[in-house]
Structure 1
Amino acid sequence: MVHTRRLSAIVVAALLVTGCASAAPAAESPAPEASHTMPDGSVMTGEEHGSHGTGHASAQGPSEAAEMVCAGQVTDAITAMLDLEGEVSPSSTWNEPMFTCSYDVDGAPLTLSVHDATDLAVGEAHFDELQATTESARDIEGLLALGMPSFTNDAGIVSFLRDGKTLLVDATRLPDELAGGTMTRSEAAYAVASAVLVCWVEHD
């Protein structure tokens, strides 16, 4: 019960700091160029790939929802919740259909990824496989699930499925205690995921 109350308080904090009332500033940060890894290990850009591609996602890059994890209010929320100092400049990669964003938290990576499926069935299958292959994964239950398929583990993994898109927050390489000892890495992962979901919901 104490753990549940603590996580509920973290969700409230995430809602307050995120404040996603306006659109994320996607225009300020160009979408990462689509890329394709070839059998020999070389990387071909979307432009080089040309007519050999099959999906529109390659030409368009990641969705706006995916890009939100690496910019604007989500970055501000992560900075505030984890008490990060200085300018926070996350790095991102796009390898269709996966958009990945990495934040440096005191020298350790906090990784957010979005499996940017455009087909609900494909997205749901990916989420199910991810949960099945994540060590010691368990469903997030009750109100903490926010009405969505979701799972977590004690190592610092939190994942949610919304509209076919799988959000994964990986805090496994962060210190055991964060934000001045007020938050564990599992709680931090949940708070970050909640902040992203707030933005997704408010930008529907």
Structure 2
Amino acid sequence: MVCGPEIKDALVTALQLSTPPATTNTYVDRLFTCTYHLAQGPLVLSVMDTTDVPSATRYYDALRRKLGNPQPLTGVASLGLPSVQTASGVVVFLKDDKTLEVDASALPATLGPNQQTRADLAYQMASDVIGCWREH
């Protein structure tokens, strides 16, 4: 899903790219990672697909600790799910037995013709993935 055409199209639209970026992906120990190779740097989307909700919660909590002091997303921005974001451009959502991480921290502070912040791009891509999850 995170490397699928819906998300790739959303990224092309968000940054007004003339062509879709190349991607590479890996799947190791239930962690699927898709890296979008943008001209400005990598955008990394990862999904940990654990076997149950308690395992997913532990993974999410460990990731939050690793990120230091992420700020919780609240209200509508949280999409009704446990979620956090960092100022550097990392967004994490927990949904059922899956943890989604979108890491735009290696990108410039702003990018694209609309000078979108990397944090906003990470959130936009995360919300697109969550939207696809809710449809399936």
The two structures have a TM-score, normalised by structure 1, of: 0.64
Letter of the structure 1 residue corresponding to residue 53 of structure 2: L
Shift of 1:136: 2.5
Name the CA distance, whole Å, in 2 between partners of 1:105 and 1:177: 13
Name the CA distance, whole Å, in 1 between partners of 2:40 and 2:66: 27
Structure 2: runs of 5+ lacking an equivalent? none
2:129 to 192, 196, 203: 196
Letter of the structure 2 residue corresponding to residue 171 of structure 1: A
Q: Any runs of at least 4 consecutive aligned residues in structure 1 with deviations exceeding 6 A, and if so which?
A: none
Corresponding residue number in structure 2 for 1:80: 13
User: Secondary structure of the residue that 2:77 maps to in structure 1?
Assistant: helix
Instruction: Let me know the Cα RMSD of the aligned residues.
Output: 1.1
Name the CA distance, whole Å, in 2 between partners of 1:185 and 1:74: 16
1:108 to 34, 38, 41: 41
1:95 aligns with 2:28: yes
User: Secondary structure of the residue that 1:69 maps to in structure 2?
Assistant: coil
Asked if 2 retains the 8 angstrom alpha-carbon contact of 1:172 and 1:185, the reply is yes
Q: CA-to-partner distance for each residue in 1:106-165, whole Å, 9 max, x for gaps?
A: 140000000111211111100011112202211111111010000001000000000120
1:135 aligns with 2:71: no
Name the CA distance, whole Å, in 2 between partners of 1:156 and 1:70: 19
The two structures have a TM-score, normalised by structure 2, of: 0.95
The size of the alignment, in residue pairs, is 136
Name the CA distance, whole Å, in 2 between partners of 1:87 and 1:160: 25
Corresponding residue number in structure 2 for 1:71: 4
Aligned counterparts, 1:44-55, within 5 A: none
Name the CA distance, whole Å, in 2 between partners of 1:93 and 1:73: 19
% same residue: 38
Corresponding residue number in structure 2 for 1:166: 99
* Greater share of residues in helix: 1
Aligned counterparts, 1:112-123, within 5 A: 112-123=45-56
Corresponding residue number in structure 1 for 2:108: 175
Letter of the structure 2 residue corresponding to residue 179 of structure 1: G
Name the CA distance, whole Å, in 2 between partners of 1:96 and 1:131: 19
Q: CA-to-partner distance for each residue in 1:19-43, whole Å, 9 max, x for gaps?
A: xxxxxxxxxxxxxxxxxxxxxxxxx
User: Secondary structure of the residue that 1:159 maps to in structure 2?
Assistant: strand
